[in-house]
Amino acid sequence: MTSPVYVALDTPDLERAKAIATKVRHHVGGIKLGLEFFTANGRSGVKEMAQLGLPIFLDLKLHDIPNTVAKAVQALRDLEPAVLTIHAAGGRAMMEDAKAAAPAGTKVVGVTVLTSLDDDDLRSIGVESDSHAQVERLTKLAREAGLDGVVCSGAEVKAAKRLWPDGFFVVPGVRPANGEAGDQKRVVTPRQALNDGASMLVIGRPITAAADPDEAARAIEATL
């Protein structure tokens, strides 16, 4: 069975990203490249990582007016990522246009509420709903807009799946039992996230910051 774990290679250093991906490749299902990697290495860096032969999740969390996001997605078409993120808070028209601009084989998923935010953080930016209600609201909107799924924390994935039984659910903020949360505020274990309906687990530092990333990925795999 293909692993649901995508390792987040959050580094500006292309050689380091390649080295970690090469070490863990037999214990993960793919690699996730985000803003830190992309702003340093761009499209050519993504193409170089693609040569490793693992599926690529391009986590750029696009968020702008519909025309700008659609043009950005168009510019990424030839990279053919397995998964691409946009912010669901960009609204329905933005999500519709992003999906229309993406290649057929790319799952476009909407980030609902970042896993680094809790209810106090939401209130501080003027969102009166709690994280649970806000994830539910944006999940419904992403579905109506024709996306493939959403990004949410493991604390909400069960509720999101209830609203969208055939949706694709990406869960970051995943930590092995007793793992350090760091800047993540809504955290669950890999097993719990899968039990509750996650389709894909995004795991970064618990693997990449370990003394032996391959062993860390293997240990996580053993809990699934």
Ligand X SMILES: O=c1ccn([C@@H]2O[C@H](COP(=O)(O)O)[C@@H](O)[C@H]2O)c(=O)[nH]1
The Cα–Cα gap between 39 and 195 comes to 35
Q: Which of 60, 102, 151, 200 binds ligand X (CB under 6 A)?
A: 151
Is 173 one of the binding residues for ligand X (CB under 6 A)? Answer: yes
Rounded to 5 degrees, what are φ and ψ at 58? -95, 105
The answer to whether the annotation marks 184 as part of a ligand binding site is yes
Could you give the string, one character per residue 190-219, with x where binding to ligand X holds by CB under 6 A and - elsewhere? ------------xxxx--------------
Between CA 17 and CA 32, with CA 48 as vertex, the angle to 5 degrees is 50
Question: Any contact of residue 41 with ligand X (CB under 6 A)?
Answer: no
**161 annotated binding-site participant:** no
- Phi/psi at 171 (5° precision): -120, 110
Give the per-residue SS3 of 141-178: HHHHCCCCEEECCCCCHHHHHHHCCCCEEEECCECCCC
CA distances 16 to 30, 49, 158, Å, are 16, 11, 35
DSSP state of 109: E
Residue of 11, 139, 184, 192 interacting with ligand X (CB under 6 A):
184
Q: Is 149 in the site for ligand X (CB under 6 A)?
A: no
CA neighbor of 35 nearest in space, from 114, 147, 100 = 114
Q: If DSSP codes are grouped into helix, strand and coil, which group holds residue 57?
A: strand
Residue, CB closest to ligand X: 204
Among residues 35, 39, 93, which one has the least CA distance to residue 64?
A: 93
120 is in an annotated binding site: no
For 214, the token pair is 């391959």
Q: How far is the CB of 78 from ligand X (least distance, A)?
A: 23
Told to judge if 71 belongs to the known catalytic residues of this protein, a careful annotator would answer no
The reply to whether 64 belongs to the active site is yes
Choose the catalytic residue: 59, 97, 119, 148: 59
**Residue 34 is a binding residue for ligand X (CB under 6 A):** yes
Shortest reach from residue 212's CB to ligand X, in Å: 17
In DSSP terms, 56 is beta-bridged to 31
Q: Is 203 annotated as a binding residue?
A: no
For the CB of residue 218, give the shortest distance to ligand X in the complex, in Å. Answer: 17
Q: Is 166 a catalytic residue?
A: no
- Name the active-site residue from 13, 18, 61, 214: 61
Q: Is 205 annotated as a binding residue?
A: yes
| Cα–Cα separations (whole angstroms), residue 102 to 31, 95, 138 | 19, 11, 20
Q: Enumerate the active-site residues.
A: 59, 61, 64
- Residues forming the site for ligand X (CB under 6 A): 8, 10, 34, 59, 111, 114-115, 151, 172-173, 184, 202-205
| Binding-site residues from annotation for substrate | 10, 32, 59-68, 115, 175, 184, 204-205
